[in-house]
Amino acid sequence: MDQIYRTIAEALGVEAKIVHIPSDSSRAWRPQQAGNLLGDKTWSAVFDNSKIKSFVPGFQAVIPFRDASAGRWHGLPADERRQRIDEGVNAEMTAFSRLMRKRVH
């Protein structure tokens, strides 16, 4: 996931500021996210395209993630619909961040 986030940050022309938080801490603070946190985000994964190849035998990925990512995020700053802040989520993340900083210091 770090590599994915760094690639996206690079495409946006910014530095990724990655913070690793134990899943148990996140789950204890926000139990409704337990399924998401302890599912595919807990373990490293290899992404492959064997399933699409089984349905489309001639399929071949030709665009590297780095290049596709750059195109995908390029228009983001100009799209006002994607610049809305969800105040509820923002407040939750701020509270969680403060809690985690207290535990570290």
Whole-number percent of the chain with pLDDT over 90: 8
| Residues sharing a CB contact under 8 Å with residue 70, sequence separation 6 or more, in sequence order | 11
Query: What average pLDDT score do residues 47-60 get?
Result: 86
At residue 40, the pLDDT reads 61
Length of the chain: 105
Count CB neighbours of 42 within 10 A.
10
At residue 38, the pLDDT reads 67
CA 35 to chain centre: 16
At residue 105, the pLDDT reads 58
Using pLDDT thresholds of 50, 70 and 90, give the confidence band for residue 16.
Answer: very high
pTM recorded for the entire structure? 0.55
Residue 56 DSSP class: S
